Amino acid sequence: MIISRETGIVDLGHFETESGEVIDNLKLQYEYVGYKGQPLVVVCHALTGNHLTYGDDEHAGWWREIIDGGYLSINDYQFITFNVIGSPYGSSSRLNTPNFPEHLTMRDVAKANILGLKQFGYEKIDVLIGGSLGGMQTLEMLYDGSIEVKKAVILAATEKTSSYSRAFNEIARQVIHMNGQDGLSIARQLGFLTYRSSKDYESRFSADDVVSYQKYQGNKFKEVFNKDCYLTLLDVLDSHDIFRGRDDVEERLLQLETKVLTLGFADDLLYPDDQVRALGRFFKYHRHFYVPDNVGHDGFLLNFGDWAPNVYHFLKLYKFKAR
């Protein structure tokens, strides 16, 4: 058998957003990799990520180490990742779509993912997984319920965007509005302070080095990302609240047969472990793992040996007791 890998764009046609705005022909950039016919893993990426979960030999994807490391083995699964709408990496956004919606929400992103999966003919997801904004998409897709999900893994995400996160997001908006693309550098530097713990900074940098590091990360980011797309995605992030306008959340989620694993990371300033763990009350079958020694919120992108074995063992379990 030969591993298949392809990237491309799927056209989904007329798409109405939660606000009532319309994208005439929604486009989703995607990456597919794996063996056809194997159990399907749907990976949802985070705020400034992209669809390149696996990547290629020249440019490894952002979770390539998870897959090649055997935690989610390429020999056991097939993988698909959609680039979030509004992102600058190929899906419909302000960069490539005239009259792109002014208001985009997490529910729009989840709806687009589901439409993309159905367009490919998938009727069941074996593993639905995502961290941070990806975990929020995962939660919304579980609520939707139109595609069966056997197992789900939610990392560093909660039932709604935290007030702490929204406060930093608003500062980032103001900086970008005042300084344009240059403001994107400052917004990124600000974001890094919330993605990593103070312990991580103290262990890695001297007082002088940290200034250079922050500026380097900010300037690198403004060269590859677009300010208008970033503003769109901040709106998506801020919109996340599984309960917003709904009174049936617990009822719908508790009806699911999906086995759910949540992971919280030590010193996560944005989504503390206790709030991640609290998602378990929504699910009939739930397990939680606390990652005690990591870098903070960005732990789901780093130090895979600290937490990925727990994902591996969870996916191998076949017997679960309802709580």
Whether 297 is catalytic is yes
Helix/strand/coil for 159: coil
pLDDT per residue as tens digits for the range 229-238? 999 999 999 9
Cα gap 30→310, rounded to integer Å: 27
Could you say which of 235, 268, 273, 298 is catalytic? 268
Q: What pLDDT score does 321 carry?
A: 76
| Domains of the chain with CATH codes | 4-161+241-316 (3.40.50.1820), 163-236 (1.10.1740.110)
CA separation, residue 217 to residues 223, 260, 282, 284 (Å)? 10, 34, 38, 42
Cα gap 62→81, rounded to integer Å: 12
Other C-beta atoms lying within 10 Å of the C-beta of residue 283: 24
Tokens 């970008």 -> residue: 176
Could you say which of 197, 235, 297, 298 is catalytic? 297
Instruction: Report the predicted TM-score, pTM, of the whole model to 2 decimal places.
Output: 0.96
Helix/strand/coil for 102: coil
Q: Has residue 207 got a pLDDT over 90?
A: no
Could you say which of 132, 185, 197, 239 is catalytic? 132
Cα gap 180→88, rounded to integer Å: 16
Q: Has residue 1 got a pLDDT over 70?
A: no
Mean pLDDT in the chain?
95
Q: Has residue 23 got a pLDDT over 80?
A: yes
